[in-house]
Structure 1
Amino acid sequence: MTAAPAQPGTAAGPGEGVPALIARAARLLPAQAPLSAFVHHNTLHAFEDRPFEEAVEHAARLFGTEPYLAESAYAALLAEGRITPADLDAVVADAPAGPPAPPGGPTWRAYLRARLGTHLDIPRGAALDWLLAETPALAALPADLPPERARYLRAAAARRRPQAGADAVRHLLADLWTALRRAAPAGPAAPPPAARPRDLLLARTGHDTDTDTHPLLIRFAAAYLDQGVAYWAMPGREEGILAAFRSLYGRRGGPPEPWLRDLPAVLAAQAGWSAARTVAWALTALRVPEPAWGAAIEATLLSLRGWAGMVHHLEHAPHRAPVAAPPARLADHLAVQLTLDLLATRAAVRAHLGPAATVADLDLLDAGPPPARAARRELAYEAYRLAQLLPVDVDALCAPAPAAAWLRTVAAADEVLRRRLLHLAYERRHRVGVLDGLHAHGRYAAPLSRPPAFQVVFCIDEREESLRRHLEEHCPSVETFGYAGFFGVPMSYQGVDDVRPRPLCPVVLTPRHLVVEEARAPRAKRHRGGAARRGYDVGTRTLARGAALSLGLGLAHAVPWVGRTLFPRRFDRWLRRLDHPGGPPTRLDLHHRPAEDAGLRRGFTVAEMTDIVAAALRTTGLGAGPAPVVLLVGHGSASLNNPHEAAHDCGATGGGRGGPNARALAAMANDPEVRAALAARGTALPAHVWFVGAYHNTCDDSVTYYDEDLVPARTRPALRAAQAALAQACRLAAHERCRRFATAPPDLPVDRALAHVETHTVDLGQPRPEYGHATNAVCVVGRRWRTRGLYLDRRAFLVSYDPTADPGAEILAGLLAAVGPVCAGINLEYYFSHVDPVGYGCGTKLPHNITGLLGVMDGHASDLRTGLPWQMVEIHEPVRLLLVVEAAPAALAAVIAANPALDRLVRHRWIQLAAWQPDGDALSWYDGGRFAPHRPPAAPLPLAGRSVEVYTGRRDHLGCAHVLAGCPDAPAEVLR
């Protein structure tokens, strides 16, 4: 057994500065909530104080991730026309200056322009060694050389060595390679210093102590944070992570692994120590210099950043735990990890240097061979290939000075710079296409010339763009609006079957009100069924009952597996008929009661409800003239066997479903006391106007309506007509969605589309129940009539805003404060999960297992995977959000400057910004601190009668198009 741990020798006391170092490192951890409360956010939220390009490149070095798409992906986009020569010219003109032109070579910008259009796959390491040794790469011209360039090289070779004859080309290439190889700069003399002793040990012995410590740490963290999957709770959880670990692993006998034989003694000696003191002791024992503690803490936490991030999240937001968060402190988690790191390092050093060795003897280990200088060889080969392909004087490059100058030029345009510029060109093409489409559509845009038959308020979600478009095409007399999906009702909501309430509002808000759904009559039968299900679920996780249930009901379990796999849609409908909840109608308990529940006020006062309704009417523009029926449609997504189901829900409700919010706003707007208060404020709602809340399931395109029994008899015919129109729009929207599913044929009939998406929803083996936000790229804040009839390919968040009713831009300031960060968070999480699906995303769904109701792991044990699965982002186009606001540039700039969070996103280019003149079609985009006018081309947009003509048979991203059926006062022949 080991002696008691030595005290850390710090002048300020044990662990004095450790909490600040932990807090600094915690900023780099993932901020993802548990799966049930999944909210999209900027993956690199800690770097928003840096310009986007600088941030993603710095994070790539820190995390070992990718900043942009691979260069080969941009080459494919260039070949497809998704990046044009004009885009390359534009980004090269703005590129940073480079080295002087080499003798006989192009200028820096000419070289850069040519290099961006030339994709080369340069082998690395051993692959390059094999290529040079086993192929004629250094002796013959490559087969893919353009004919003109091949003729030039042969002529140059003949001039250089006329006596060599047929061997002249071989001699020229040999001279060129020799000159470049000799002129290539040496690689780095030494690797960067190791942040953790583990890194040094790995470099010198090949032994990775993380393979020892991580499995144990993963098992412990998963068991400690478990939200009810395990039948037996971990003992000592109520004392905290560090105390529970000491209690569990400090017992007599100890863990079986040899490297942990000293753990009980170490933990016994740590009794009573704080986490900070333990961290300081471990770092001192690991021989980490105190100035390097911050780097060591950062590297340690990032080595299992998923689990560390979840601990940190539950420490600061315990209310987002699915059931109840145990006491979670990141300092405790770090203390446990560093203690294990120390024991694993000691054991590894002893294994290599003998049983008497200590961590201090780590420097005695063989440092191994000097660092390889493969980069020097790779640069020389890249310059060699480019000299053959690009317009440069090869004969001149065979001399030492020109060769060195050429290498400097090639090195300056390294892979990161090329990918950055190609990405900017890619985004430019997208931005130009959208702004061109908005400008061109002005010739068809006009307000409705007659009062609307009914109105529908949707969430701003870009998935609702196609539903709104199809509804407007099918029913020209409808008027649609876009409003944040919590409908201005920040609340904690408890449904009639919910165990406890959950917040339904943006994560930046803390709800103060509790709204409860209450049944109008007892539901004892349903509750008895729930109790039976709970008893069964608990029983399957116990030893005796689990064995009995498995033996008794094992064969019965095969029935749903077979049914949901072979005929999922029919089987699901049969189950619904068998287990239909039925029961009496329910109501939301909205009116304020004096009592509080868990610190939340029950319901809203009449004044508060009036404020909420007035804000909705003013912000959307509904107050200008409401139709007899106004549908308020929240949304969410329900699918089977989909751990990331909540990621498909409504971001404006904090990852919940917006149906209850829409229902609440409708009930408030129909309330007689609220209407009287509105009238007293000068906003009278006519008596014949009725609001109906609804919920749109974006997975199967079904719509559920609330409180239909309360609709007045005079309004029911108009409501039925509106429901029929929305049902047809859902069928058409489902058809448009199916074009992105490989399981749907390109010629799928419209009348079969709804069945196809319903099957996707309930198919047990379907990894792509829906693609969620995978097409998001644009956010338009303005009047709907300006984009009505414009095909936007389900890519645009549509936010209703009337600048003519907001002369002081107060409404706009409030809108952008919410819309900007929320839409940016969605967009950026999809961006990062696509450009690096393993480093920033959670990889493919296939090996995922849910752990503790918190997140997913790969297989039975891995880091907690954060980000989005590949099946959610595979069709995404990773471009930064283009925010287009209907406002004068000066007014928009003032609003942005007054909001620090939004200003940071815009100024540092995490989103792109454009201003759209309210009194004309002029557009300008924000570039380098000022608005530059957008100059649209003369080329017209494609013209179609209906959306189906635009997308049928197409699976790729589509550009803008005019859809005449959606335009106000469309010709009658188009509407047939």
Structure 2
Amino acid sequence: MNTLLAKTLILEKEPDYLDLDINELVKSASKVIAPLGPINTFAARNPWMGLEGQPFELVARRLKDTCDVHIYPNDSMFQSARNRGEINQDFLEMGLQHWLDLQSLELPRGVGERFCRAALMQDKPSSNLLAVPELKSLARKLRRFKSQITEKHSVQTYSQCLEQLAGERVAHDLNRHIIKWCKLFLDESQAVWSMPNREEGFYHAWRGLVQHDPALSHQIRKQLNNLPKEADHALKEALLALEIPYSEIQDYLEAHLLALPGWAGMMLWRSQQSTQENSLLTEYLAVRISMEWALIKPYLPLPEQRMDKILLEPLIAAWAQWGNLPINAWSQLSSIEVKARLTLAYRFDKILRNRIWLEAWEKTYEDQLMKMITSKQLTAADHIKSALAQFVFCIDVRSEPFRRKLEKAGPFETFGTAGFFGLPIKTNELGSKHSHNSLPVMFKPQFKVKESSTEFELKQYQQRQQAVNSLSCTFKTMKHNLLSSLLLPEISGPWLSLQTLARSFVPRSAGYTFRKIRDTWLNKPSTELLLDHVHTSETELPVGFSEEEKVHYARQALKMMGLTDHFAPLVVICGHGSHSTNNPYASALDCGACGGASSGFNARVLAALCNLPMVRQTLEIEGISIPKDTVFAAAEHITTLDQLRWLYVPELSDAAQKAFNRIQATLPKVSDEANAERISQLPNLGSDYKNPKAEAQRFAEDWSEVRPEWGLARNAAFIIGERRLTQECNLGGRAFLHNYNWQKDKNGALLANIITGPVTVAQWINLQYYASTVAPYYYGSGNKATQTVTAGIGVMQGNASDLLAGLPWQSVMQSDQEIYHVPMRLLVVVQAPREYVERLLDHDLALHQKVQNGWIRLASIDPEGHWESWS
């Protein structure tokens, strides 16, 4: 059938094709993937952020059908957890009974219970049983029941179907070509020659070059040379040529996006960054599906375009294994009984069993957390004491152990809040031409804050910076030039050899020395922050804040962290960041609330705002009275070293100076204790941990270290409440802690802001760790040791894989066989009366949907200490 005739027939059969809004369909289809930004600004992404309108189990089934990806933990993870006592048998039984209560099966309840219980607890039927001739014969006799128990399955691409049906590697070849073109188009730093005509867009640049691609046959190149000039027209034409039914077009586009979710996610991210590239995802699909059509055209029509998704043999074998129903006993059953048994075996499949196991795992953790909190929480009277200093930390789970040690070391009080401290800013450090969005990726910056120094010092510093950058740029230019690259080893060899030996054999000393040399040479002068509003053009962000804005953001931050009275002489705003060497994922260990950067800059801005006399005067009129001798300072919690580094210490009052001296004397002990707890959890062959501080420094400086720290692995809960609720609990670095006092939040606005901001960020972090654990080579990024940093934007496995969006297995695995991160969905615990939670669910439809569909779990503790689960 020629293309023109095919189009005519399809248009006659499905006139809706004439009104096809392809860009709208692409937009709807894009919900199956998450936008993926460059790895140097790594920000946690929920890979299923666009699918939360569907139940978690339904998404699991869809991904299994479409791309054979499993998003529930596997059997070995469940069994290991059970052996460690992390899954209570009672919760398994409760989950089973609850599911059975919802079913309408024409079977005695006892028969169904015994079958399902055995299926939950035993191994799958052996392959030997599936090969028995009698079983296959029985399956043929019962094939009429298939239509009575099957359900609609997800669409696969034609290239995937062809690969499964005929063994042709069309899907593999298609992916290989798309990866090649994406790398060329998206490259930001590695290619010496950039892709011609990139400024015209992906489709136009590809269309101009693909006709010269030697990896394609002459016939295919000829076909691609005749494509329409516009991407949306080309995409429509390819869908017509493939004869995709109108009702399945969005499903078909989704299947193609899920084939390479990393590269597609990068195209989606780019399309969201500028209006010039807002059609980039449509262009990507036009390229991909046009190439698919050209590659599979010789095989059309496919022998069977939709594979039979259900086999009866496993269902019959399941009853033989778990239901004590031999193969020869089926002939004695009525049609109703046969259908009922096949239906039960079909419904109670692997995905459903995994769901029950995961929910039991999650409920066991919730039960253990409930017992710990309700048995150990302090009374209000016990908690109130005169604090010498107050520390405000990020909610990050790595802050919890450090806070616990610090509170026990002296008269110190700690608070938890989101690490960007509510400041919607873009930061611009001294001497840098580049700025960085220092806030969660779901928000857009509204202000720019710059560092400044005297004109003379700034000029000197910029000259030293330029010298360092010029050296690096010259080295890169020589490496990429044919003639100079021959001479480069002779010039750079001695220095690079010395650096290699030093970093390999004495990494801690080498790292410190090299950094000291660089810092000494740069000699960054003391700086101030430009906080006063500076008029800019309408297209640029305003620099600094107006007087009203200064008050607004200081007030908002203090209320969000729950610090509006009983101020200590010294209040330390603590941002946090990480430190590691030769680590593509360095930004993944920094502040998740700050777009993959340290939140120290934000801490410094907030502390400076709270020290302004005008801000304090206005706040005092509003009822937030900050004593004159209270001083705000800023520090940074280095999570790889568990150290507190001072960033901003203004002139101190006598009382604040006394507090500062006490802190300085206490911090080394706190750091050592926090390091000892954290380092003992890191797998490190041959170490006896006699010096936790030295060991932490080695992890941070060793350029061969694949696991400088655990990051946010094992995160499991987000607790919103007063510190006294958890102060006596060892939460094991697994909980995000956000201060909240419901008595100061009569209308629920603070709680609503915590849910929409910090909780959403934490949920994205949680689901990224979850996905990287259960599907490491699809949603994670595989093994660090075999990764390739590509195009300056991300990592691949080898040179022809998907762009990997998640975390490497070293971030979530204890060893090749044992997980470290516990793949559970985030449990949000709110300390507030029941009516607060009801109001929250009524007003926040997104949260209600997440809870209802199983993407997040919710519990509350009322003022009397009673725990209630809402999931």
With normalisation by structure 1, the TM-score equals: 0.80
- Give the equivalent residue in structure 2 for 1:532: 471
Does the 8 A contact of 1:461 with 1:798 survive in 2? yes
Instruction: Name the residue aligned to 2:817.
Output: none
Structure 1 residue 328: Cα displacement: 6.3
Tell me the distance in 2 between the aligned counterparts of 1:614 and 1:679.
10
Q: Where does the alignment leave 5 or more consecutive residues of structure 1 unmatched?
A: 134-173, 320-324, 350-358, 928-976
Please give the per-residue CA displacement for 1:335-364, whole angstroms capped at 9, x wherever unaligned.
222232232224x44xxxxxxxxx5xx35x
Correspondence for 1:573 among 512, 531, 550: 512
Structure 1 counterpart of 2:713, one-letter code: A
Which residue of structure 2 aligns with residue 40 of structure 1? 44
**Which residue of structure 1 lines up, in the alignment, with residue 197 of structure 2?**
236
Alignment of 1:36-185 (within 5 A): 36-97=40-101, 98=103, 106-116=110-120, 118-124=121-127
TM-aligned CA deviation for residue 632 of structure 1: 0.5
Which of 318, 322, 332 does residue 386 from structure 1 map onto? 322
Asked if 1:587 corresponds to 2:528, the answer is yes
2:438 corresponds to 1:487: no
- The corresponding residue for 1:345 is 296
Question: 2:332 pairs with 397, 400, 403, which one?
Answer: 400
CA contact (8 A) 2:422 2:557 kept: yes
* Deviation at residue 747 of structure 1 after TM alignment: 6.0
Q: Which residue of 2 aligns with 1:304?
A: 260
Aligned-partner Cα distance in 1 for 2:850–2:5: 48
Contact 1:739 1:746 in 2 (8 A): no
- How far did residue 287 of structure 1 move? 3.8
Pair 1:51–1:197, CA change in 2 (3 A): closer
Check 1:717–1:200 CA distance in 2 against 1; reply closer, same or farther (3 A cut).
closer
1:285 has 2:241 as partner: yes
Q: Say if 1:813 and 1:916 are closer, same or farther in 2 by CA, change over 3 A.
A: same
Distance 1:445 1:180, change over 3 A: farther
The change in CA–CA distance for 1:512 and 1:884 in structure 2 (over 3 A counts) is same
Whole-Å separation in 1 of the counterparts to 2:443 and 2:136: 65
Counterpart amino acid of 1:52? F
Count, aligned residues = 845
> In the alignment, is the contact (CA less than 8 A) between 1:472 and 1:479 conserved in 2?
yes
Q: Take 2:5 and 2:665, find their aligned partners in 1: how far apart are those partners?
A: 76
**Match of 1:515, as an amino acid?**
V
The offset of 1:303, in angstroms, is 2.2
% same residue: 27
How far did 1:5 drift? Answer: 9.0
Q: CA deviation at 1:713?
A: 6.7
After superposition, give the CA deviation of every residue in 1:354-382 in whole Å (9 maximum; x if it has no partner): xxxxx5xx35x6x79x9899943333333
- Pairing 1:499–2:433 present: yes
Task: After superposition, give the CA deviation of every residue in 1:654-688 in whole Å (9 maximum; x if it has no partner).
Answer: 22221000000001111222223223333232111
Q: Is the 8 A contact 1:663 1:706 kept in 2?
A: yes
How far 1:88 sits from its partner (Å)? 2.1
Native 8 Å contact 1:179 1:400 kept in 2: no
User: Structure 2: which amino acid aligns with 1:594?
Assistant: H
Find the aligned partners of 2:50 and 2:224 in 1 and give their Cα distance.
36
Say if 1:123 and 1:378, in contact at 8 Å, map to a contact too: no
1:182: Cα distance to partner? 8.7
- My pick for the range that moved more, 277-286 or 779-788, is 277-286
Counterparts of 2:341 and 2:4, CA distance in 1: 58
The offset of 1:551, in angstroms, is 4.0
What SS does the corresponding residue of 1:451 show, helix, strand or coil? coil
CA apart distance, 1:399:
6.5
Aligned amino acid, residue 337 of structure 1: R
CA contact (8 A) 1:187 1:375 kept: no
Looking at structure 1, the residues matched to 181 and 851 of structure 2 have their Cα atoms a distance apart, in angstroms, of 42
Q: Does 1:470 align with 2:405?
A: yes
Q: Name the SS for the 1:487 alignment partner.
A: coil
The letter of the residue matching 2:296 is T
The amino acid across from 2:868 in the alignment is: S
Structure 1 stretch displaced more, 872-881 or 180-189? 180-189
Contact 1:637–1:648 (CA under 8 A) maintained in structure 2: yes
For 2:378 and 2:464, locate their aligned partners in 1 and report how far apart those are by CA, in whole Å.
60
- The answer as to whether partners of 2:778 and 2:804 remain within 8 angstroms in 1 is no
One-letter code of the match for 1:589?
L
Pairing partner for 1:436 from 367, 371, 375:
371
The answer to whether the 8 Å contact 2:565/2:625 transfers is: no
Q: Distance in 2 between matches of 1:199 and 1:187?
A: 27
Q: C-alpha offsets along residues 54-81 of structure 1, whole Å, 9 cap, x if unaligned? A: 3333333333211311234323333432
SS for the counterpart of 2:99 is: coil
- Higher helix share goes to which structure? 2
Determine the structure 2 residue equivalent to 1:509.
Answer: 443
Q: Work out whether residues 184 and 380 of structure 1, in 8 Å CA contact, stay in contact via their aligned partners in 2.
A: no
Alpha-carbon offset, residue 536 of structure 1: 2.0
Structure-1 separation of matches of 2:197 and 2:113: 65
Relative to structure 1, the CA distance from residue 897 to residue 407 in structure 2 (aligned partners, 3 Å threshold; closer, same or farther) is closer
3-state SS of 1:613 partner: helix
Q: Is the 8 A contact 1:50 1:908 kept in 2?
A: yes
C-alpha displacement at 1:922, in angstroms? 1.4
Structure 1 segment 364-383 matched on structure 2, within 5 A: 375-383=311-319
Does structure 2 retain, via aligned residues, the 8 Å contact 1:775–1:795?
Answer: yes
- Report how far residue 876 of structure 1 moved: 0.9
- Distance of aligned partners of 1:636 and 1:8 in 2 relative to their CA distance in 1, 3 Å threshold: farther
2:6–2:241 CA contact under 8 A, matched in 1? no
For 2:443, the aligned partner's letter is: L
RMSD, aligned CA: 3.3
- CA change 1:584–1:709 in 2 (3 A) is farther
Change (3 A) 1:436 1:102: same
Q: Distance in 2 between matches of 1:122 and 1:497?
A: 66
1:473 counterpart letter in structure 2: K
Letter in 2 for 1:401: L
CA separation in 2, counterparts of 1:112 and 1:7?
A: 49
Counterpart of 1:639 in structure 2 is: 580
Q: Is 1:604 the equivalent of 2:545?
A: yes
1:537 CA drift (Å): 2.5
Of 879, 888, 902, the match for 2:833: 888
Counterpart pick for 2:774 among 835, 838, 862 = 835
Cα separation, 2, equivalents of 1:733 and 1:193: 49
Q: Is the 8 A contact 2:378 2:724 kept in 1?
A: no
- AA aligned opposite 2:717: V
* Partner amino acid, structure 2, of 1:122: P
Q: Secondary structure at the match of 2:385?
A: coil
**Are the counterparts in 2 of residues 5 and 270 from structure 1 also a CA contact under 8 Å?**
no
Task: Give the direction of change, closer, same or farther, for the CA distance of 1:447–1:406 in structure 2 (3 Å limit).
Answer: same
Q: CA separation of 1:559/1:620 partners in 2, compared to 1, >3 Å: closer, same or farther?
A: same
What does residue 762 of structure 1 align with? 701
Matched AA of 2:318:
E
Preserved contact between residue 8 and residue 14 of structure 1 (Cα < 8 Å): no
Cα 1:398–1:202 shift into 2, 3 Å: closer
Question: Take 2:138 and 2:363, find their aligned partners in 1: how far apart are those partners?
Answer: 36
Instruction: After TM superposition, list the pairs within 5 Å mapping 1:565-964 onto structure 2.
Output: 565-580=504-519, 581-596=522-537, 599-708=540-649, 710-711=651-652, 715-743=656-684, 748-749=689-690, 752-874=691-813, 875-918=820-863, 920-927=864-871
Taking the aligned partners of 2:155 and 2:728, their CA distance within structure 1 comes to 59
In 2, the alpha carbon distance for the partners of 1:459 and 1:496 equals 25
- In terms of Rg, which structure is larger? 1
Aligned to 2:452: 518
Report the secondary structure of 1:632's partner residue: strand
The TM-score normalised by the length of structure 2 is: 0.89
Verify the 8 A CA contact 2:391 2:571 in the aligned structure 1: yes
* Runs of 5+ unmatched residues, structure 2: 814-819
- CA separation in 1, counterparts of 2:663 and 2:4? 74
Distance 2:749 2:569 in 1: 29
1:241 & 1:332 partners in 2: Cα distance? 6
Q: 1:706 is paired with a residue of what secondary structure? A: strand
Shift in alpha-carbon separation, 1:692–1:428, aligned structure 2, 3 A: same
1:18 to 11, 17, 22: 22
**What SS does the corresponding residue of 1:496 show, helix, strand or coil?**
coil
- Amino acid of the structure 2 residue aligned with 1:241: F
State the alpha-carbon separation in 1 of the partners of residues 106 and 114 from structure 2: 10
- Give, as a single letter, the amino acid of the residue that structure 1 aligns with 2:375: A
Change (3 A) 1:822 1:447: farther
Q: 1:93-133 CA deviation, whole Å, 9 max, x = no partner?
A: 31134576878x944234433442x2214344xx6567x69
